[in-house]
Amino acid sequence: MTASLHLLRGDDEVLLDAATSELVHRLIGDDDRSLVVTELDGEDYAASAIVDAAQTPPFLTERRVVVARGLQRFNAGALAPLIEYLGDPLDTTDLVLVAGGERLPKAFLDAAKQAGATVVATGAGRNRQERSGWIDERVAVSDVKLDPSAKSAIADWLGEDVGRLPALLETLEAVGGGAKLTAADVEPFLGEAGAVPPWDLTDAIDRGDVATALAMLARMLGAGGRHPLVVMATLQGHYERMMRLDGADVRDRTGAANVLRVAPFQAQKALDQSRRLGHDGVAKAIELLAGADLDLRGQRAWPPELVMEVLVARLARLAPKSRTARR
């Protein structure tokens, strides 16, 4: 009998909790949960409490499952007792460590790796392609059958809120009856569209696609819960990059990245759009942003949402429209 160590990580609390529950259920098996599982959660417990629980032999069962949530709040010093324990874990304990966010001390990660930890990333990815792949994986292990149009509709609806997928799949399992569902079949079960990342908005503006830009704005303000001033800051940063490149002696993405101090692909997008807009277009965009910022702060008695809608529409109209946007 050997100890098992599991490290679950992810930004989405719903997905992280679901993955943790599934793992713990599998580790318990047919045993009595009240005898097997010890859970540590909240802001009060210390990392040493994880070690105390993990070093406690099982009682009336062969194994003990210790679940510690919120590991991301500990620094390397606080995790020292746990790091030491991982060097010689009790062979009757299955230790499940759960961390939200992305940052964990390197010393702990090295110790977990050396201890043979099974690392589970519960996130669905940061772009549409990664999220679509993640959705495909979850659909494949469910009893729901979806055609490509249904998968696309669900991906569009979820946006960044991928934590809503498990509940949706449960609903579709109940009503699908084993048949392959189309977009028309799933749409009645889709409520308010989920949040979207900021670049979905800025990309639509850069394409000159007014309708999509306004739809992305609505999702950011609605399901995304972003304050208009936060969206304004995103747009200001987007156009500030173009302004810094306007007139600069920059010929390629490498030069743009050096000026902007951002990743090359981000620099390329700013460089391309700066060239498409030209000096006058960039200047006009900065003027629109400055006026809308004053309106948000009370210069004009408009609702903040209306200020942002007008701003986004005007910015999108500055951009040369792509063929897709014109259609």
Q: Average pLDDT, stretch 268-293?
A: 94
pLDDT score of 326: 43
- Amino acid of residue 291: G
DSSP 187: G
How far apart are the C-alpha atoms of 211 and 217, rounded to whole Å? 10
The structure's pTM equals: 0.51
* Domains of the chain, CATH where assigned: 4-121 (3.40.50.300), 128-189 (1.10.8), 198-326 (1.20.272.10)
Give the phi and the psi of residue 252 in degrees, each rounded to 5: -150, 180
DSSP state of 182: -
Cα 219 from Cα 194, distance rounded (Å): 6
In 93-171, beta strands by DSSP E: 93-100, 118-121, 145-146
Q: Minimal CA–CA distance to 96: which of 122, 135, 61?
A: 122
The model's pLDDT over 133-165, given as tens digits with 9 standing for 90+, comes to 778 877 887 888 888 898 888 888 887 777 778
Percent over 70 (pLDDT), the chain: 93
Tokens of 19: 């993955």
pLDDT tens digits, 189-230: 776 676 778 888 999 999 999 999 998 898 888 876 788 988
One-letter amino acid for residue 17 of the chain? D
Query: Which residue from 23, 95, 25 is spatially nearest to 56, judged by alpha carbons?
Result: 95
Top-confidence residue, 2 or 197: 197
